[in-house]
Structure 1
């Protein structure tokens, strides 16, 4: 009687049962949040818009630095450009500010392509400082444009004809849509071949180039997408804030806070900026009245996290319990139904192989 022996058949897996459950939980939360304007307080909507802006900006910095390896401390340049573009389109040209949010983000992304020709000439720490200098150039330039309020800033007047309830609910829904779209865009990109190429560039740019990866083109694309997201966050923030000034829009604090959020949550993880944004928002609401002590506290929290939780809070959770809301890594796992091979057939195949491949 001939015996059949199992052979191991493998497949590529990304998600787990835990990640699927967490994903469904996340979708349920999104549906509940979408109904908030009908049953929630207006202050809740304003808080959500603020958290959304923090999260989007931090996620785009994480895409640039955590996945692309390009550490920038000047992303506030595109945050401010998005906000000012939205305001100029609304106040000067009469464009609906909600449409101006998207147009402002697009403009920030296009300007980043021109800026990259200067920034990409620098490497390492010089790149980081250079992006900060570029942001300061934008701040000083905008401060001398009287049409948008100059150095003292101005108010968004394009929303005056819209009642408060409609304005707040519209801003809230747009913030929710921007969060979902940003997460989906980054997640699908990282699961693609281009995402693998980006990780290869981050780990070793020379080796990636030797394998035929278009390093310069990929870095430019990530830089432009990150600038688009930063501009989107800036335009959205000032639609909700209704007032803008150069010092507020182009403040280096935006990038400093983004770095804090990414480090706390976990750099190089999509969930990291989300956890970091929630932690930062909570700390900001509870301790911001303590002035400089509040900033010192943020620094101490960042130091403790980097010492004891080097992969961030979500990195610790993922390492401890294997939770992943947005799995992007690939794992080789045995298939659930192993194939079987007849022992006689295996022997015949082995004899045939040896006949054609003598030692």
Structure 2
């Protein structure tokens, strides 16, 4: 047997990935026109889908790319909504307030990271849940919120329902696109490679000079900001704010479900998982507690039989990468039998 070695190529962009980006750009352009020809109910559902994609992408960034598994990300979802209420009450335009609120939440996540990133594994996961519960209690003490009674984003009432619905839709679409773009760019940078190295082996990453805590903090703050944006957008769609709803662990449970089903650590997986969750909720959401039981059972089945999620299985079987954040080694015709 003679070994014949042709050119070995290392690819980052493939033909399928370029086509995928073009298709995504075209899809976003079409979605931008949706309020013109879709009804009110469909606009609301599409807005919810965009928010789900943000939540899934941010949790996947934290856990799938950074190895920081958290069950307390609802703290940022709730704070995004809470600060939106506070800033709007102070006189800021409600649509501006929701993005300023996300910036405030992201800024607060920096000192929080000084403590939380010292924890590892299960300690970090449970620690974030404890922080979420403490913040929930503190928000309840605000007289504006009136405990669990809550309040409303009444400043939105200056807009008629059609205008308000369209603005929230467009803001959600822009936020989703911008956050996905920022995350994709980050994960393809040196910092992104460092994050994945930390996830795979923190000690090894440290030994080659990776600044572990600083790199983790970057991802922690980005996830906090993105989830806070989602919280503010959800508040804008619902208009009412009740702490027990926005600081509920169910939000993190939804994030985990979407990422597990779609494919943890896969950029495409978070998007696919959010779409699947959206479809399931749309069809079965009205079945009450059985819907939640079904979500839990589905997550368990995927963990047992498809641990890499749907996209992970597609990638394994067909080698398809639409939005690659790493490199791909191609070995064409490496071995040829010339007997």
TM range (shorter): over 0.9
The alpha-carbon deviation at position 325 of structure 1 amounts to 2.3
Q: Which runs of 5+ in 2 are unaligned?
A: 333-339
Provide the residue aligned with 2:337 in structure 1. Answer: none
Provide the residue aligned with 2:258 in structure 1. Answer: 261
Q: Any conservation in 2 of the 1:45–1:168 contact (CA below 8 Å)?
A: yes
Provide the residue aligned with 1:349 in structure 2. Answer: none
Provide the residue aligned with 1:47 in structure 2. Answer: 45
1:109 aligns with 2:106: yes
- Correspondence list, 1:275-286, <5 A: 275-286=272-283
- Correspondence list, 1:102-251, <5 A: 102-251=99-248
Instruction: Give the whole-Å Cα distance in 2 for the aligned partners of 1:82 and 1:112.
Output: 12
Provide the residue aligned with 1:95 in structure 2. Answer: 92
Provide the residue aligned with 1:331 in structure 2. Answer: 328
Instruction: Give the whole-Å Cα distance in 2 for the aligned partners of 1:256 and 1:325.
Output: 27
Provide the residue aligned with 1:18 in structure 2. Answer: 16
SS in 1 for 2:230: helix
The alpha-carbon deviation at position 150 of structure 1 amounts to 2.5
Q: Which runs of 5+ in 1 are unaligned?
A: 1-5, 336-359
Instruction: Give the whole-Å Cα distance in 1 for the aligned partners of 2:52 and 2:5.
Output: 51
Change (3 A) 1:203 1:7: closer
Runs of 4 or more above 6 Å deviation:
none
Instruction: Give the whole-Å Cα distance in 1 for the aligned partners of 2:229 and 2:147.
Output: 22
- Correspondence list, 1:309-320, <5 A: 309-320=306-317
Q: Any conservation in 1 of the 2:117–2:213 contact (CA below 8 Å)?
A: no
Instruction: Give the whole-Å Cα distance in 1 for the aligned partners of 2:103 and 2:321.
Output: 31
The alpha-carbon deviation at position 51 of structure 1 amounts to 1.2
* Per-residue deviation, residues 42-70 of structure 1 (Å, max 9, x unmatched): 21111111111111112111111111011
Structure 1 range deviating more: 268-277 or 246-255: 268-277
Provide the residue aligned with 1:350 in structure 2. Answer: none
Provide the residue aligned with 2:27 in structure 1. Answer: 29
Instruction: Give the whole-Å Cα distance in 2 for the aligned partners of 1:56 and 1:124.
Output: 24
Instruction: Give the whole-Å Cα distance in 2 for the aligned partners of 1:88 and 1:237.
Output: 15
* Per-residue deviation, residues 158-192 of structure 1 (Å, max 9, x unmatched): 11111111111110000000111011011011111
For the aligned residue pairs, the C-alpha RMSD in angstroms reads: 1.7
Answer with 1 or 2: which has the greater Rg.
1
SS in 1 for 2:10: strand
Change (3 A) 1:206 1:81: same
SS in 2 for 1:12: strand
SS in 1 for 2:157: coil
Q: Any conservation in 2 of the 1:88–1:148 contact (CA below 8 Å)?
A: no
What's the TM-score, normalizing by structure 1? 0.88
The alpha-carbon deviation at position 116 of structure 1 amounts to 1.5
- The alignment covers a number of residue pairs equal to 329
